[in-house]
Amino acid sequence: MTTTRFALFAATTLLFCAFAEDYPLGPDSERHPGVPQGTVTKYTWKDSKIFPGTERDYWVYVPAQYSKDKPAALMVFQDGGGYITDTGAWRAHIVFDNLIARGEMPVTIGVFINPGVMPARSTQSLGRFNRSYEYDAIGDRYSQFLLTEILPEVSKSYNITTDPNLRGIGGSSSGAICAFTVAWLHPESFRRVLSTIGSYTNLRGGNIYPSWVRKTEPKPLRVFLQDGDHDLNIFVGNWWIGNQDLASALEYAGYDTTHVWGTEGHNSKHGGSILPYALRWLWRESSKPIVASQGGGGERQFSTTFLDPAEGWQLVSEGHKFTEGPAVDKQGNVFFTDIPNNRIHRVTADGVVSVFKEDTGAANGLVVGGDGRLYACQNGRKRIVAYTMDGREIVLAEDVNSNDLVISNRNDIYFTDPNNHRVWYLDPKGNKRVVAENLGFPNGLAFSPDQTLLYVNDTTSKSIWSYQIQDDGTLTNGEPFYRLELHDDFMRSGADGMKVDVEGQLFVATKLGIQICDQPGRVVAIWNKPGNADISNLAFGGPARDILFVTAGDKVFKRKVRRQGTVSWELIKPPQPRL
């Protein structure tokens, strides 16, 4: 090293040292006389069905104040072994003892879990190390491992609350993004998240979270973030920037969140020193429920421009086998199918549910035409049919496979044929022909408000096709125009039913929830599902067509929204989009 370079290096080092912070452990991380000490018991789990062949250690901390007669709060940590040593950076069990004794945390059982390892078959071979596969993934595998394997096992011995407001989850680095993923996917199980030096980078797609937080209807979560400006900057991204990006997104969307930034790198020094502060912040006013944001900075949270956060999902009907095909008539009544039961139901504008038609031939997709008739994909009988409001059935086409359909103000019908990868056109005289083919699994479809474009989704991909409709019904100039969001457990979007509002926004039922796309083809908002079942279809109902009805598994739900849906008998030219 030359003299000049050495001098520059020395000056830079001294400057960094002058501004670097020291992060000693405080008194809350030390033992104190008279503070009741909890117990820590080690276990090994070898019976995972979700991560087959893996083995892992986990530890259960039980505070001295625990009584089996009263459900205890819960806190889960990933990379658990590093959190419960008496001389380490975290000393979480000691911090728990001190905070619980002073009433700054509720009586909380801690579950500290290591990532799984599939042991090698011999000393000459290598095992498989699951840490990144489990922690960095943004899908539901690890959540299900916790919720269906480890926590039920722990609950056999300890009385743990099922109240999500009293359940937290945390971790560091990949363990932190793992904790965020679990709570993000399951706020009905965890609502407090502790994240230190979180890996919100593209190790396995986690860099998408800031965008999803901004787009998605707010969830009832409280999130604590920590990072340092000397964190990693490698081929998958910059940890410091990723954490700031997520913090900005959480603040934008109105979450109950805070962050503590420091000068450390990718280590536990800073996170360990502030662990007591972070836990006090997470568990403050623990008796009060954590609720979803009402939209952050007003209309800044874009999801809330489409819905009123104060208006949640309401159950309309249940006890069916599989609901599908909601459609609205001119009075705002909504029809839906129960495919396995061969039944069509009607929901009146005042909420009364009744059977409209029995023996429907496994009717699936529905739409009401301008003539007041209810059109149906009667796939069990390979027909397209129409029903008058007194239940009389008229056959329009035979020997066709169908799933969903739309009808124009000219009574032109388009319907999807998923098994044969194509879209059919049926004119008012009953002539039919294929107008699009070679699609993966064409499912839902919808018109633009002016009925000059037809949108067709492909369940097996993340794309929705846009076609221009010609005067003779032909579809031209097709493009995979809309791009849906996926997470890494899904190789397919699961796109199903679709509807359009009068401003040209496209509402799509997907595995992530209801994705809303603007006219230029971008997902601008994602609404949470009303339950665990995937949404199969949706429709704007009610007299003003501003109540969104969704079919999901064996149930139907509704929700008041700030949008008005289009219908087949009206042509509307939507406003010019912002590009």
Determine which one of 496, 501, 534, 554 is catalytic: 496
Q: Is 443 annotated as a binding residue?
A: yes
Sign of CA pseudo-dihedral 233, 234, 238, 239: negative
The CA-atom distances, in angstroms, between 154 and each of 76, 160, 188, 220 are: 11, 9, 19, 25
Structure tokens at 468: 């221009």
User: Rounded distance, CA 166 to CA 314, Å?
Assistant: 25
User: Rounded distance, CA 499 to CA 455, Å?
Assistant: 10
DSSP lists the bridge partners of residue 433 as: 425
Q: Is 28 annotated as a binding residue?
A: no
Q: E strands within 39-120?
A: 39-45, 56-62, 73-78, 108-113, 117-118
Structure tokens at 375: 């059109």
Structure tokens at 133: 């596969």
User: Rounded distance, CA 302 to CA 254, Å?
Assistant: 11
Please give the radius of gyration of the chain, using alpha carbons only, rounded to the nearest integer: 28
Strand order of the β-sheet with 73-78 is: 39-45, 56-62, 108-113, 73-78, 167-172, 192-196, 222-228, 256-262
- SS3 (DSSP) at 6: helix
DSSP lists the bridge partners of residue 501 as: 565
User: Rounded distance, CA 520 to CA 9, Å?
Assistant: 51
Which DSSP string corresponds to 359-423? --SSEEEEEE-TTSPEEEEEGGGTEEEEE-TT--EEEEEES---S-EEE-TT--EEEEEGGGTEE
Q: Is position 496 annotated as part of the catalytic site?
A: yes
- Which residues participate in catalysis according to the annotation? 496
Residue set of the binding site: 443, 496
Residue set of the binding site for a divalent metal cation: 443, 496
